[in-house]
Amino acid sequence: MDLSTVLGIGAAFGLMLMAIIQGGPLSIFINIPSIMIVVGGTFGNTLVHYPFGDVFEALKVAKKTFLYKETPINDLIGQLMQFANKARKEGILALQGAMTSVEDDFLKKAMQMAVDGQEPETLRGMLNTEIEYIQIRHGKGADIFTSIAAYAPAMGMVGTLIGLVQMLQKLSDPSSIGPAMAVALLTTFYGAVIANIVCAPMAGKLKNRSASEVLTKTLIIEGMQSILSGENPRIMEQKLHAFIAPKLRQSTFKK
Amino acid sequence: MDLSTVLGIGAAFGLMLMAIIQGGPLSIFINIPSIMIVVGGTFGNTLVHYPFGDVFEALKVAKKTFLYKETPINDLIGQLMQFANKARKEGILALQGAMTSVEDDFLKKAMQMAVDGQEPETLRGMLNTEIEYIQIRHGKGADIFTSIAAYAPAMGMVGTLIGLVQMLQKLSDPSSIGPAMAVALLTTFYGAVIANIVCAPMAGKLKNRSASEVLTKTLIIEGMQSILSGENPRIMEQKLHAFIAPKLRQSTFKK
Amino acid sequence: MDLSTVLGIGAAFGLMLMAIIQGGPLSIFINIPSIMIVVGGTFGNTLVHYPFGDVFEALKVAKKTFLYKETPINDLIGQLMQFANKARKEGILALQGAMTSVEDDFLKKAMQMAVDGQEPETLRGMLNTEIEYIQIRHGKGADIFTSIAAYAPAMGMVGTLIGLVQMLQKLSDPSSIGPAMAVALLTTFYGAVIANIVCAPMAGKLKNRSASEVLTKTLIIEGMQSILSGENPRIMEQKLHAFIAPKLRQSTFKK
Amino acid sequence: MDLSTVLGIGAAFGLMLMAIIQGGPLSIFINIPSIMIVVGGTFGNTLVHYPFGDVFEALKVAKKTFLYKETPINDLIGQLMQFANKARKEGILALQGAMTSVEDDFLKKAMQMAVDGQEPETLRGMLNTEIEYIQIRHGKGADIFTSIAAYAPAMGMVGTLIGLVQMLQKLSDPSSIGPAMAVALLTTFYGAVIANIVCAPMAGKLKNRSASEVLTKTLIIEGMQSILSGENPRIMEQKLHAFIAPKLRQSTFKK
Amino acid sequence: MDLSTVLGIGAAFGLMLMAIIQGGPLSIFINIPSIMIVVGGTFGNTLVHYPFGDVFEALKVAKKTFLYKETPINDLIGQLMQFANKARKEGILALQGAMTSVEDDFLKKAMQMAVDGQEPETLRGMLNTEIEYIQIRHGKGADIFTSIAAYAPAMGMVGTLIGLVQMLQKLSDPSSIGPAMAVALLTTFYGAVIANIVCAPMAGKLKNRSASEVLTKTLIIEGMQSILSGENPRIMEQKLHAFIAPKLRQSTFKK
């Protein structure tokens, strides 16, 4: 489970609720028509903007960010070095056997292509296309949350304008101004909460996830190409280490 | 018919109307001069910005988003694999016969060029130019809606400023302040609705449509080039699958 | 004359004036010091930002958008096809005679270079440099209008702040608050009008003009290079058609 | 002296002062603590953002924009054509003598490299690196002014918030509200003036200067490379003319 | 210690405190629930957006900007020229001995690769990958501060909306309006301070640091490649000087 996402959202919402309750009853912040115009309207905008399928896909991906655990990049480099040594000693076909222990589908595909005898350049080209379109698909998830983070405050403003116009039309009763304006502001409040506490950070998280997945896949391509071209394992390790921070580099040789 | 667009716009407008009616008569939100300054002014700005032709083209394209249904990308890959097998068995000229069953103009053109014996590189170059300029033309449609989404709130602000200045000049009668200000805010309200409930999501939809059309056409180019260069059908299928999500990949071989 | 620009600006201003007059005398929207601070200040900012020459050039170009009429792209393709046929039959030097009927300077220059016997690659390189720097120069025109559209509201805000500070300092006389605030808001109003009804759409128009001019010139380069390399006219026409929308493509062959 | 910068800033400030004085005493717009929080705070932000050296460099460069006079681009082309003719007649080494009359350091360096017998490609590579890093350094100057134009209004808002909070805490005395709010608004006013009348146009000017300097240097590289490769002077002139507007092109041949 | 960062932050905070104290007690600007909702909420958003590790890394890097001192770029060029002369006279292996005096890890790695006999192109490729991923990692630090600078004002607005709604609901007691509103504005104030006085300039500083580090590393790559290919030291120095401002160029030859 991704603790940082859960803690972060919990902290932000918890502190907000605390601030609300400390100042008065929570009930004055709950107004069904206001929730409907902001949540429903934003959902409507999103459905016009994106096809059904993409929106539900994005929600599914968002759920995954609460459960997902990244595999350390060092383990991947170690695994690739192991395959390199195996391929050097027993030939490239020996990777066939090693594939059963591999969980990552992308690495499996790359190994299958290597075992199938494809050229290093073909392998790189095809896998690069795959990375490029993975980025486009992942980008759409982040995009949808970014769009919601833009539509929610806009619908909040629409709701507040409606409330203001109605309030101003019956300004005769001054005692009703305060509560009417408070209700009018609620939609702006909902919009700000949806945008800033939920959707904007979520979009950021999805972008970060995508970036680290692309880094993983880029390392796999570099590694498999080194293996296919029978490069010196030390050079290969140096190449793979160039992608990560110096303090994360644990050589399999100097140990 | 594109249900998601229709439902989305319906939901957003419906919820907004509900919120309005619940708080008072709908009539206080209708003001002809305010509508004229926002809608007419925005239309004026748009005509200065874009030529007549482009604006009407954009409206036509927008209408299409309500009616359009995408063809599944899997069917296209299946069709391309079929052509590849046909071309391998009966020669490239056999595609001439298969062209009659093809509806997509771009695929038809690509096949005609292949049958005419053009080089794979010429075919790719010419079709890539075509995709590039399709993107530019489609981009203009989305651009126009994005511009309207920027002009409408600006005209709304101009209208509200006019109303405020007029109201402030005759501040002597306090009872008129409320309704006058309500009317002044209406243009801001119209601008926000036009921008956020209609134009911004519409611009987004057009961008998404363009992206999925470009993906379709890119697959056609890749596929036709594989066919022309007589590539192994399994490799060709792997190449085409690299463009789509793993769970959408249905091999014609493993079945 | 470019009707769309004239109609657009006319409609936006007309509707605005109508809304003003309907609500009270036009005179309350005219305030000389406010006009001076917004118009003069914006002009000052613009002169700091851009050299004299560029600003006057931009105004001249803007005037041209009221008078300019685009030549249809189909006629250009037809003309290029005609030259291709002439060159195929009578040799490239025959274009010398055809040049007298050509009005476009860029096409004339391209033909002169072809007649002078320059290599296709030199021709393409030199004309591409020319297009690149035409884009930079045109971009500056649009840039200047975009900058004015940013400076005018800023000067409007400065003016309104001046008015507000002065009003607040003498708050003792409540009856003067309304009119003083109305006057303070006028600079914001002027800034919004200059930015949104004049300059932003104008900048957009200049960008669109530049894009369509670049498309024309790109077609000329492609066409002349096809002619120079003696390409098959049908292929050449297909290449040129790839740049334009399918429904605009009128073949000179199928007729 | 760059008249346009001086006139522009003079006009903007003059009109603003006029508007102020016309409405009341200038003194109500001067408040030492407000000036300190906006000017000092902005300077503080800028020192955190950029190293000392860069900030002072930017101020020096800004001063130069008041004094600088551009050399006409036509003269440069004429000079390059002269060198081309000299090199054709007397050999490339003859440029050694011509170097004494050259003032521009970049042109001098290019000529020295040509005289030293460096390859056209080495010359282009090294000078392009130089242009690239000149752009980065110049860009930093514009960047600093752009940052100040962002920090000043932010500090203005911070100052206004401080004033508002203090005013609201002692709301009991209604007669003090007006003047207190006027003072609170002053920091917003200072921020807007610093950003919009000084820094944003200045950043624009620096960008324009950098662009025209890069154009000059690009022409020098193109010209020297033509000279080194002994290109036909007419072709060389055509190449150089491609960088500038048609109406500025004055051939040294047709005269 | 980086004096400019310390002085800058000190000046901005000092002037702000001065302005506060001059207008009333500091205590009215301190409100624990308001601090909790802005600081805690922003921290929560940031933890959703970025993994734990990246956030703590960013804080560590930020601390470094208070302590870090850049090495002058001239010394680096001098050092590289020294190595070039040594390598010319005593062979590339002589760099092994010189490595002990080198502190920079990147330069050490480049020298080790040269001594190990790697090809100039391999060296450039691997070190360029390293620079590219250093930029990505550094970029993340600046990114995190930029995100905080966006979340803090958003949380400030959420806090102010909560305060406003609660205040408007109990508008019956007019004397409480002022102080209640003052408290409501505090969260906006905190958000503005965190964003504009702390995080935005800090993000800028990190970007500048990253840029100057990349410049240093680019010079190392250029220099080592010149050394490996046995280039003339004068040419090598000219190449390295192309990266820096003319007035910083101190030749080791003309001295």
Check CB contact under 8 Å for C46 and D8.
yes
**Chain E residue numbers touching D157 (CB-CB < 8 A):** 192, 196
Quick one: how far is CA B235 from the chain centroid?
33
Nearest by Cα to A113 from A228, A236, A250: A228
Phi, psi of A173, rounded to the nearest 5 degrees: -95, 95
- b/e per residue, E201-225, with b = 16+ CB within 10 A? bbbbbbbbbbeebebbbbbbbbbbb
Burial class (CB in 10 A: 0-12, 13-18, 19+), A175: exposed
More confident residue, A237 or E1: A237
What sign for the dihedral angle of Cα A199, A205, A208, A213?
negative
DSSP chain A: --HHHHHHHHHHHHHHHHHHHHHS-GGGG--HHHHIIIIIHHHHHHHHHS-HHHHHHHHHHHHHHHH--PPPHHHHHHHHHHHHHHHHHH-GGGHHHHGGG---HHHHHHHHHHHTT--HHHHHHHHHHHHHHHHHHHHHHHHHHHHHHHHHHHHHHHHHHHHHHHHHHTTT-GGGHHHHHHHHHHHHHHHHHIIIIIIHHHHHHHHHHHHHHHHHHHHHHHHHHHHHTT--HHHHHHHHHTTS-GGG---SS--
User: Per-residue confidence at D68, pLDDT binned at 50, 70, 90?
Assistant: low
Q: What pLDDT is attached to residue B150?
A: 95
CA distance to B26, E142, E203, per residue, from E61 (Å): 57, 10, 11
> Looking at CA atoms only, how far is residue B5 from chain C in angstroms?
26
Burial class (CB in 10 A: 0-12, 13-18, 19+), E119: exposed
**What is the arithmetic mean of pLDDT over D56-74?**
78
Residues 6+ apart with CB under 8 A from B22: A33
Q: What pLDDT is attached to residue E255?
A: 47
> Looking at CA atoms only, how far is residue A246 from chain E in angstroms?
9
Residue E28 touches chain D, beta carbons under 8 Å = yes
Check CB contact under 8 Å for C5 and B44.
no
- b/e per residue, B32-65, with b = 16+ CB within 10 A? ebbebbbbbbbbbbbbbbbbeebbebbeebbeeb
CA distance to C162, C228, D1, D245, E90, per residue, from C50 (Å): 27, 41, 15, 17, 56
Distance, CA of E219 to CA of E211 (rounded, Å): 12
Is C32:C95 a contact under the CB 8 Å cutoff?
no
Phi, psi of E117, rounded to the nearest 5 degrees: 85, 25
Nearest by Cα to A79 from A232, A225, A242, A220: A220
For tokens 């980065």, name the residue. Answer: D136
User: In this model, does residue A1 exceed pLDDT 70?
Assistant: no
Is B98:B211 a contact under the CB 8 Å cutoff?
no
A82 HSE (CA, 13 A, CB side): 12
> Looking at CA atoms only, how far is residue C2 from chain D in angstroms?
24
pLDDT tens digits, residue range A165-217?
Answer: 998 887 766 677 888 888 899 999 999 999 999 999 999 998 988 888 889 99
Interface of B with C in 132-151 (CB under 8 A): 133, 136-137, 147, 150-151
Quick one: how far is CA D254 from the chain centroid?
36
Is B115:B93 a contact under the CB 8 Å cutoff?
yes
Nearest by Cα to A4 from A204, A185, A246: A204
Report field, pTM of the whole predicted structure over 0.95: no
User: In this model, does residue A8 exceed pLDDT 80?
Assistant: yes
**Chain B residue numbers touching C20 (CB-CB < 8 A):** 162, 166
**What is the arithmetic mean of pLDDT over A28-32?**
92
Q: What pLDDT is attached to residue C1?
A: 59
CA distance to E52, E101, E133, per residue, from A247 (Å): 17, 21, 14
Distance, CA of A46 to CA of A144 (rounded, Å): 8
- b/e per residue, D49-87, with b = 16+ CB within 10 A? bbbeebbebbeebbeebeeeeeeebeebbebbbebbebb
For tokens 């919990």, name the residue. Answer: A10
Nearest-CB residue to B171 (from C22, C24, C178)? C178
User: In this model, does residue D255 exceed pLDDT 60?
Assistant: no
DSSP chain B: --HHHHHHHHHHHHHHHHHHHHHS-GGGG--HHHHIIIIIHHHHHHHHHS-HHHHHHHHHHHHHHHH--PPPHHHHHHHHHHHHHHHHHH-GGGHHHHGGG---HHHHHHHHHHHTT--HHHHHHHHHHHHHHHHHHHHHHHHHHHHHHHHHHHHHHHHHHHHHHHHHHTTT-GGGHHHHHHHHHHHHHHHHHIIIIIIHHHHHHHHHHHHHHHHHHHHHHHHHHHHHTT--HHHHHHHHHTTS-GGG---SS--
What sign for the dihedral angle of Cα E44, E46, E48, E50?
negative
Q: What pLDDT is attached to residue B211?
A: 87
Interface of E with A in 222-251 (CB under 8 A): none
DSSP B87-112: HHHH-GGGHHHHGGG---HHHHHHHH
**What is the arithmetic mean of pLDDT over D163-171?**
86
Nearest by Cα to E189 from C124, C112, A162, D165: D165
For tokens 């993107």, name the residue. Answer: B135
Q: Which chains touch B (3 or more CB pairs under 8 A)?
A: A, C
User: In this model, does residue A255 exceed pLDDT 50?
Assistant: no
DSSP B224-235: HHHHHTT--HHH
The mean pLDDT value of chain C amounts to: 87
User: pLDDT (tens digit, 0 to 9) for every residue of chain B, 255 residues total?
Assistant: 677 888 888 999 999 998 899 888 899 999 998 999 999 999 999 999 998 888 888 888 788 777 766 678 888 898 899 999 888 888 888 888 888 888 888 898 889 888 888 888 888 888 898 898 888 888 888 999 999 999 999 999 999 999 999 988 876 666 778 888 888 999 999 999 999 999 999 999 989 888 888 899 999 999 998 888 888 888 888 888 888 888 888 877 764
Q: What pLDDT is attached to residue E254?
A: 60
Check CB contact under 8 Å for E37 and A22.
no
DSSP annotation of E172 reads: T
Check CB contact under 8 Å for A129 and B242.
yes
User: Per-residue confidence at A120, pLDDT binned at 50, 70, 90?
Assistant: confident
Distance, CA of C112 to CA of D235 (rounded, Å): 12
Nearest-CB residue to A169 (from B8, B18, B28)? B28
Please identify every stretch of chain E with a pLDDT value under 50, giving residue numbers as ranges: 255
Nearest by Cα to C201 from B51, B192, B199, B198: B51
User: Crossing angle, helix B200-228 and helix B52-67, to 10 degrees?
Assistant: 80
Interface of E with D in 171-210 (CB under 8 A): 175, 177-179, 181-182, 185-186, 188-189, 192-193, 195-197, 200-202, 204-205, 208
Distance, CA of A86 to CA of A80 (rounded, Å): 10
Residues 6+ apart with CB under 8 A from C127: C106, C109, C110, C113, C217, C220, C221, C224, D242
Q: Find the closest chain E residue to D130 by CA distance.
A: E242
Residue A164 touches chain E, beta carbons under 8 Å = no
Q: What pLDDT is attached to residue C255?
A: 47
User: pLDDT (tens digit, 0 to 9) for every residue of chain C, 255 residues total?
Assistant: 577 888 888 999 999 998 899 888 899 999 998 999 999 999 999 999 998 888 888 888 888 777 766 678 888 898 899 999 888 888 888 888 888 888 888 898 889 888 888 888 888 888 898 898 888 888 888 999 999 999 999 999 999 999 999 988 877 666 778 888 888 999 999 999 999 999 999 999 989 888 888 899 999 999 998 888 888 888 888 888 888 888 888 877 764
CA distance to A49, B67, C98, D126, E244, per residue, from D137 (Å): 42, 53, 50, 17, 9
User: In this model, does residue A254 exceed pLDDT 70?
Assistant: no
**Chain D residue numbers touching C36 (CB-CB < 8 A):** 15, 18-19
Distance, CA of E51 to CA of D137 (rounded, Å): 34
Amino acid at C205: K
Radius of gyration of chain D (CA): 26
